[in-house]
Chain A
């Protein structure tokens, strides 16, 4: 079952069928070349793109136009890449980032005054 809107009553059929493969968290997926990474993953039903650095709570894209940075993932080793504005390319390696391990539990939050 695809989440792609292959035929639309006004916009018509999707003309592009140039699918490429990319890797997300060690699994291979296919997406349309040059569509956004967030869209390619969404077409597979994947909406969790990372886990909050502190609490570990799952996060996905929110604004989808590059403002909120919720969709940030590592692409080919570089972190902080916004999945919603990044076009997929053949062989791209994408990874979710997870919670950071604190050195010392007491350092995790600055006290409030």
Chain B
């Protein structure tokens, strides 16, 4: 069953990796590439958090600074380089 649609990372791969390394969501992303695909993790982010949390301890999630890295929409190099202006 696919969890990260963009990178086609399966639930099995994520659960196994989380169990072996007992890692945070961020480490899970780095190890499997889940959440690092084209959509910027928008589709699978909460699912990865859930999988990571079932392995590690649940921290106090009441107050968080949600980590989102701009740009939050893909920009192509042409635009960055001013090609279309």
Residues of chain B lying within 8 A (CB to CB) of residue A52: 8
Residues of chain A lying within 8 A (CB to CB) of residue B74: 69, 80
Give the distance to chain A from B14, nearest Cβ to Cβ, in Å.
11
Check if B76 sits within 8 Å of A80, measured CB to CB: yes
CB of B50 within 8 A of chain A?
no
Residues of chain B lying within 8 A (CB to CB) of residue A110: 33
Check if A69 sits within 8 Å of B32, measured CB to CB: no
- For the complex, what is the distance from the CA of A67 to the CA of B8, rounded to whole Å? 17
Check if B5 sits within 8 Å of A62, measured CB to CB: yes
Task: Sort chain B's interface into a size bin.
Answer: 10 to 19
Label chain A's interface by main secondary structure.
loop
Chain B 45-78 interface mask (CB, 8 Å, partner A; 1/0): 0000000000000000000000000000010101
How many A residues face the partner with a CB closer than 8 A?
17
Q: A52-B8, A62-B5 are in contact. Are A68 and B33 (CB under 8 A)?
A: no
CB of B24 within 8 A of chain A?
no
- For the complex, what is the distance from the CA of A113 to the CA of B32, rounded to whole Å? 10
Chain A 49-64 interface mask (CB, 8 Å, partner B; 1/0): 0001011010000110
- For the complex, what is the distance from the CA of A80 to the CA of B7, rounded to whole Å? 16
Check if A70 sits within 8 Å of B5, measured CB to CB: yes
Q: A68-B39, A80-B76 are in contact. Are A113 and B31 (CB under 8 A)?
A: yes
Check if A113 sits within 8 Å of B21, measured CB to CB: yes
Would you give 10 A-B contacts (Cβ < 8 Å), ordered by A? A52-B8, A54-B8, A62-B43, A67-B39, A67-B43, A68-B42, A69-B38, A78-B76, A80-B76, A112-B31
Knowing that A67-B39, A67-B42, A69-B6 touch, tell me 13 more A-B residue pairs with CB under 8 angstroms.
A54-B7, A57-B8, A62-B5, A63-B43, A68-B39, A68-B43, A69-B39, A70-B5, A70-B39, A78-B76, A80-B74, A112-B31, A113-B31
